[in-house]
A and B are shown apart, each in its own frame.
Chain A
Amino acid sequence: MTLLEFHDVGLNIGERALLENINLSIRQGEFLSILGPNGAGKSSLMSLMSLTWKPTKGLLKIFGEDAQKFSVKQINQRRRRIGLVPQQVHFNWAVPLTVYEVVEMAQIGMDKAERFPKSEEKRLIESSLEQMGIQSLSRRPYRSLSGGERQKVQLARALAQQPEILILDEPTAGLDMDWQERLVQLITNLYRRYSLTVILATHITGHIPPCCSRIILLGSGRIIADGKPSEVLNVKYLSKLYNCPLEIYERNGRTHCIATGDFDE
């Protein structure tokens, strides 16, 4: 079953094209990684997928329906089926919400008729916190957490939405190596445990877990390559994508990439 379809999709802000001629379809159960340098358009593509923005060109189908024709109510209903973990959460420091309250936000957007009974809502939230290993933080103020802990809370919030698609926009950005590894492991475990469709945006090849079934290379708002990891993670494509000479090596099923610094004069 196809969940997301892009047909010649483009996104412009004023005269500037952020995305051009995007043709892509994402099937249920896929683990898709979108790899590209900074400014490649990864976050813009994620914004279209999560219905934050609408395309300015082409046809975007979400759950088989034309996203351009969605009303505000329909957009909100579809958003609840998509768990989004943004690159950075801009939150109000002055509002002292606890970790539990932040995760609870996942249940609030539901229509009254769709809502679970209170006990079920509580169970879902607690289960999401448990999946992320952060039950002990549930009463802590969100603002007192470290960057890695906050990302775990955001994953728990997205999970508590019981999404069909999980969109992760550079979830490891700004974290130290230990936290980066822990999050990659967590994402892998989540994908394996639930029948989720995962879309992960990153600019670091080493953050793509071995369970990833497909990779899209995105450069300057266009798809450069689309295929299995073994087909696209090679020196030819990656050096073109990052516009620098590089070497790659494999470890534990993951492909790591190092810029060699041997630039042509």
Chain B
Amino acid sequence: MSEWFGIFGIIIAAAVVGGGSIGCLGAYIVGMRIPFIGIAISHAAMLGSVAGYLLHLPIFPCALGVSLLSAWILGGFFSPAMKVHSDTHTSILFSVMMGLVFLGMGLMKNDVSPLLGMMWGNLLFVNIKNLFIMILLAVIFAIVCLIFHKELKSILFSPDLARASGINVGRIIKLFLVIAAAIIAANLNIVGGLLLYSLLTCPAAAAYEIGGNLRSVIILSAIFGVASAAGGFAISYQFNLPTGSCIALLSAFIYAAAHLNARTHPGV
């Protein structure tokens, strides 16, 4: 009985920490209008996992390393001097990562189920070590958000005005993306690389639909993230369905409800 509580305690804690931190991260990513970056970084983490698997290296450090590298590269493209929009660079990076992931998987001769788990996600894969890393990163992320709250708020509102006010937009975006990459890599087990996108975007989009100010948007986004992850897991457990799919669909349902609410109760 206590073992059952131990396992489920870790899973529920992972759902709360992961859903909350990704939901909160999504509020910034959606606000900056760069949601595609989440999927590119999650695929970079998957590439790191594949590389680690092929080279017989520890998987998480490899996933973390490649996702951090991709975030650093993408951070360099957020400049007004760039001729091509950052979304285009993100798409290029995404397609390269995706190509390399499938190439790596094609080269594997052994059992690829742990990697498929990373692709589709399963909260049952989360262990106490994963949970500790997730909590640590969530705390670091919260501290960075608190320290740079006003800078991030300004960048979300208008990068041009932030620059004109003397804010080092490039440096803050790079720092933010690096932390985002670490959180995405650490949470890959929950929903998987393919569906993590939904947890990054849907709770945040729902929060923007109904939030009155940025603070409430961030808090609501974290709450919706927790509700999606924990609720999705509960549904998947109850009806024996894939966890990642349930989380993605529940987060989309929350967004649809928030959108309908905003349509029926319009305000400024």
**A residues whose Cβ falls under 8 Å from a Cβ of B:** 50, 52-53, 72-73, 76-77, 79-80, 84, 86, 89-92, 94-98, 101-102, 104-106, 108-110, 141-144, 157, 161
CB-CB under 8 A for A95 and B165, given A52-B80, A141-B268: no
Complex Cα spacing A212 to B161, Å:
26
Complex Cα spacing A92 to B156, Å:
7
**CB–CB A109/B153 < 8 A:** no
One of B81, B166, B214 near A97 (C-beta < 8 A): B214
28 interchain pairs, CB-CB under 8 A? A52-B163, A52-B164, A76-B166, A76-B167, A79-B164, A79-B165, A79-B166, A86-B161, A89-B158, A90-B160, A92-B156, A92-B158, A94-B31, A95-B153, A95-B156, A96-B214, A96-B217, A98-B213, A101-B157, A101-B214, A104-B150, A105-B154, A105-B162, A108-B165, A109-B165, A141-B268, A142-B157, A143-B268
**CB–CB B157/A92 < 8 A:** yes
Complex Cα spacing A110 to B166, Å:
7
- Chain B 138-154 interface 0/1 with A at a Cβ cutoff of 8 Å (1 = within): 00000000000011011
Complex Cα spacing A110 to B162, Å:
11
CB-CB under 8 A for A157 and B161, given A52-B80, A92-B156, A109-B167: yes
Q: Shortest beta-carbon distance, A54 to chain B, in Å?
A: 9
Residues of B close to A102: CB separation below 8 A: 157, 161
CB-CB under 8 A for A96 and B212, given A86-B160, A91-B158: yes
- Chain B 208-235 interface 0/1 with A at a Cβ cutoff of 8 Å (1 = within): 1001111001000000000000000000
Interface residues of B in 143-199 (CB under 8 A from A): 150-151, 153-154, 156-158, 160-168, 170-171
Q: Shortest beta-carbon distance, A117 to chain B, in Å?
A: 15
Residues of A close to B211: CB separation below 8 A: 96
**CB–CB B161/A108 < 8 A:** no
Complex Cα spacing A157 to B160, Å:
13
Complex Cα spacing A90 to B31, Å:
14
One of B158, B162, B170, B213 near A96 (C-beta < 8 A): B213
Summarize B's interface: helix, strand, loop or mixed: helix
Which of A76, A97, A109 has most chain B Cβ within 10 Å?
A: A109
Task: Count residues of B near A (Cβ-Cβ below 8 Å).
Answer: 30
Complex Cα spacing A76 to B151, Å:
13
Complex Cα spacing A89 to B159, Å:
10
- CB-nearest residue of chain A relative to B81? A53
One of B31, B33, B165 near A157 (C-beta < 8 A): B165
One of A52, A73, A89, A101 near B168 (C-beta < 8 A): A73
Residues of A close to B164: CB separation below 8 A: 50, 52, 79, 84, 86
CB-CB under 8 A for A94 and B154, given A72-B168, A109-B162, A157-B161: no
Which of B154, B168, B212 has most chain A Cβ within 10 Å?
A: B154
One of A76, A84, A92 near B33 (C-beta < 8 A): A92
**CB–CB B160/A108 < 8 A:** no
**CB–CB B165/A80 < 8 A:** yes
Q: Shortest beta-carbon distance, B10 to chain A, in Å?
A: 36
Residues of A close to B154: CB separation below 8 A: 105, 108
**CB–CB A95/B31 < 8 A:** yes
Which of B33, B163, B211 has most chain A Cβ within 10 Å?
A: B163
Complex Cα spacing A150 to B165, Å:
17
Interface residues of B in 79-128 (CB under 8 A from A): 80-81
Complex Cα spacing A72 to B172, Å:
13
Residues of B close to A106: CB separation below 8 A: 165
